[in-house]
Amino acid sequence: MAAATLPGFSIHEFLREEREKDLLRFSTAGSVDDGKSTLIGRLLYDTQSVYEDQVRSIEGKGTTAPGQLDFALLTDGLRAEREQGITIDVAYRYFSTARRKFIIADTPGHEQYTRNMATGASTADAAVVLIDATKGVLVQSRRHAYIASLLRVRHVLVAVNKMDLVGFDEAAFRTSERDFAAVLDRIAEDTGTPVETTFVPVSALIGDNIVHRSRAMPWYGGPTLLQLLESVPASDEARFAPLRFPVQRVLRPDHTFRGFAGQIASGAVRHGDTVTIASSGRTATVNRIVTWNGDLAEAHAPLSVTLVLDQELDISRGDLIVAHDELPVLSKSIKASMVWMDQHPLDLRRRYLLKHTTRTVPAFVTSIDHRANIHTLSHEPAKTLEMNSIGVLNLSLLQPIAVDLYRANRSTGSFILIDPITNSTVAAGMITAASDRTQAATDRRSPVTAPERVARFGHRGGVLELIGPHTIIDQIERSLFDQGAITVRINHEAPSLTQPIVDAGLIALVVSATETNTLKALVETHEITVDSDDLHDAVSAVHRLLTKSGIFVSGKADHP
């Protein structure tokens, strides 16, 4: 970076070169104490990407020998991390070389933070997995390699670290290489995603084969870690996949303009192209591709643009605009590999929210095919998934979404699950199969059963009695409607109507409008009274009541 002070340096030349640089995102992974943070710190230090004041702030601190900088302190940003000497959450780091800009997601190695590792890997083009040469392949390295493969991080660079502690011995390196290559082969078999793997012997602490070639390991003739990072191709699958354009927002500044704002998830769109709205199957022609810098004749992933079509179709946020000749599958029933990330285990009876592109729909997990055992790399039956476990699950959605398989498209093949009560992101999913028929394989002649109704509606039948101002009752009805619940509103004078409604699996709203400023809500033996000044509060209190009383299936209802 001191280049700017060198004679012959031209800033305009520099800016021109910068304009040509591309971007590589990579994550680091490995077991606790393998030396990830040290390695990143070293990478930054040796590429002159840290400032002197940052170096000064870590001098004489940390766990290393006197005079030896503890590079891990450059990346471990939280106090608890520095105090405990471990990485808790992803730290993002930035550096660039003459060829490339890099974004590093330095992820925690400890098992309980696996979800943070998945966060880091989800956007990565490459993963640097560390192995401690003194310890060999540990379970965390397997877990991380497994997740990297599952999330389709195509290039895995394996840095066999702490070579200084094994006397820079080639045999030690080859042992780690052989063991881990075997593990990676089995992972690829399981996830169906072969990864390209390269092994490098390094010492992060001393800086050997990170940026500078090691003199202590003449037996290694391959590239340094930085050379590998500079040559790995940035993932460009998205650009060559069919057009997928999730609509984020309809822009309608005045009556002359109606455009669909979004980021092209994959493929390209040209002026004059015929496109299809995935949910309705209707087609239209692209009239304009609008950006602040002017209209474009063509745009491709991952640009953010605004499309204007030649027809007034019913399109809103959550719709997917796609290539008319390569359609996604419209599905309410999908199979996915999932990483469970919440402290509450998966509950097959509960309704979750599934967020896919810009669309969110209610969903149930209907069954578990298997759970992956990271230790043995085998499949085992499971009744639930706990935090940090990985499995293949079947989901049933209350509304269809337009999907591709994750292996074909990282954007339209992925989703997250959200717990509607806690609002936590509980799982990440990668779609491995989707059926475009929404019917379950039930006997078509038998009567419809209660569990079937529950699976479709997302709730069992019940009576919700509401006494309060009608504005808030309207709001509650709307919020239930928005969630996909089926309700029937009945005036409180006609209670005899409720039984058939409940039997049909619907929610009867028995309402009495009052002038009070409190709202009373009753379900069976449960009763709450809330202040109706705060609409938000009142509405969520009623939702909690429905969950607590088991109408929103979360405990009592039987499930197929």
Partner 1 sequence: MPVAESESRPLSPTSVGHRPRLSHLRLLEAESIHIIREVASEFERPVMLYSIGKDSSVMLRLAQKAFCPGPIPFPLLHIDTGFKFREMLVFRDEMARSVGAELLVWRNEPAIAAGTNPIVLDTKRCCGLLKTQALLDALRHYKFDAAFGGARRDEEKSRAKERIYSFRDEAGQWDPKNQRPELWNLYNARIHPGQSIRVFPLSNWTEIDVWQYIHEEKIPVVDLYFAKERPMYVRGDALLPIEQDFVALPGEKPQSVKSRLRSLGCSPCTGAIRSDAQTIPDIIAELLSFRSSERANRVIDHDQEGSMEIKKREGYF
Ligand X SMILES: Nc1nc2c(ncn2[C@@H]2O[C@H](COP(=O)(O)OP(=O)(O)O)[C@@H](O)[C@H]2O)c(=O)[nH]1
Q: How far is the CB of 274 from partner 1 (least distance, A)?
A: 19
> DSSP character for 203?
B
Report, in angstroms and rounded to the nearest whole number, the Rg of the chain calculated over CA atoms: 28
Contacting residue, 428, 476, 519, 545, with partner 1 by CB under 8 A = 428
30 Rama sector, left if φ>0, alpha if ψ -120 to 50, beta otherwise: left
Q: Is 88 in the site for ligand X (CB under 6 A)?
A: no
- 500 interface partner picked from ligand X, partner 1, Mg ion, none, CB below 5 to 8 A per type: none
Q: Is residue 322 left, alpha or beta, with left meaning phi > 0 and alpha meaning psi from -120 to 50?
A: beta
63 binds, among ligand X, Mg ion, partner 1, none (CB under 5 to 8 A by kind): ligand X
**Cis peptide bond N-terminal to 302, omega within 30:** yes
Return the one option of Mg ion, ligand X, partner 1, none that residue 550 interacts with (CB less than 5 to 8 A, by type). Answer: none
Residue 162 interacting entry, from Mg ion, ligand X, partner 1, none, C-beta within 5 to 8 Å by type: ligand X
In whole angstroms, give the CA distance from residue 503 to residue 458: 15
Contact string 322-361 vs partner 1 (x = CB under 8 A): -------------------x-----------x-xxxx---
Q: How far is the CB of 88 from partner 1 (least distance, A)?
A: 6
* Stretch in the footprint of partner 1 (CB under 8 A) among 154-162, 213-221, 416-424, 468-476: 416-424
- Contact (CB, 8 A) for 304 and 249: no
Draw the binding track, 12-41, toward ligand X (x: CB under 6 A; -: no contact). ------------------x-xxxxxxx---
Contact 475, 539 (CB under 8 A): yes
Residue type, 175: T
448 touches, from Mg ion, ligand X, partner 1, none (C-beta below 5 to 8 Å by class): none
Cα 121 from Cα 46, distance rounded (Å) = 24
Per-residue CA distances from 113 to 110, 121, 313, 351 (Å): 6, 13, 45, 25
| Residue 30, contacted partner among Mg ion, partner 1, ligand X, none, CB below 5-8 A by kind | ligand X
Q: 3-state DSSP call for residue 513?
A: strand
Q: In the complex with ligand X, which residue's Cβ is closer, 10 or 84?
A: 84
Q: Does 343 bind ligand X (CB under 6 A)?
A: no
Residue 385: partners with Cβ closer than 8 Å, 6 or more residues away: 338, 340, 345, 346, 368, 371, 391, 393, 427
Phi, psi of 272 (to 5 degrees): 90, -10
Binding region for Mg ion (CB under 5 A):
37, 87
Q: Does residue 101 interact with partner 1 by CB under 8 A? A: yes
Using CB under 8 A as the binding rule, whether residue 268 contacts partner 1 is answered as yes
- Which partner from the list Mg ion, ligand X, partner 1, none does 19 bind, CB cut-off 5 to 8 Å by kind? partner 1
Nearer to partner 1, 11 or 494 (CB): 11
Residues 107-131: b if buried by 16+ CB within 10 A, e if exposed: bbbbeebbbbbbbbbbebbbbbbbb
| For ligand X, the closer CB: 106 or 477 | 106
Look-up of token digits 């998945």? 118
Instruction: Out of 80, 181, 440, 448, point to the residue binding partner 1 (CB under 8 A).
Output: 80
Residues 455-484 that bind partner 1 (CB under 8 A): none
- Residue 203 contacts which entry, ligand X, partner 1, Mg ion, none (Cβ below 5-8 A, type-dependent): ligand X
Residues forming contacts to ligand X in the complex (CB under 6 A) are 30, 32-38, 63-64, 70, 72, 86-87, 109, 161-162, 164-165, 203-205
